[in-house]
Amino acid sequence: MVERKYVPVRCFKGDKPSITVTLTNVMGESIELTLRVDTGFDGSVLLDKEMYRKFIVGELPESMWRRFKTLNGYLVMRTAKAVLMIEDKQLETLVLTPNDFEGKNLIGLEVLKELAIMFKEGKATCIMKAE
């Protein structure tokens, strides 16, 4: 059996799991923001409407907007291209915002599955790296 040892690269303190990332739109304009970690969100990055405006230059046609099934039916999300950077990792991703209401700033499973993360209950969220 092969074992891997992981060491923390960077930890983000807080009572709720969150990480700070840099998002870049298709025009090369970057913003740094803190996103709450949401393992119940299947998408990539959810932004409130104000933050999403910075990414509207890379918005996909409405026919390609993401749709999520909820208990109340389908939720349509405006969708735009972006690049997410965290530490030495760079990922092409999609940023989303709800078409019908304000939204929140979250990072979901689509991005989280690409990262090694450790949660220290009530203290910090750490990005890990294999040693």
Condensed to tens digits (0 to 9), the pLDDT of residues 46-75 reads: 999 999 999 999 999 999 999 988 888 888
For residue 2, pLDDT beyond 70: no
Residue 22 pLDDT level (bands cut at 50, 70, 90): very high
Closest alpha carbon to 52 in 14, 106, 10, 6: 106
Q: Is 55 left (phi over 0), alpha (psi -120 to 50) or beta?
A: alpha
Average pLDDT of span 76-90: 94
Per the CB < 8 A criterion, the answer to whether 109 and 41 are in contact is: yes
For residue 36, pLDDT beyond 90: yes
Identify the weakest region by mean pLDDT among 45-54, 59-68, 107-116, 120-129.
120-129
Output the pTM of the full model: 0.89
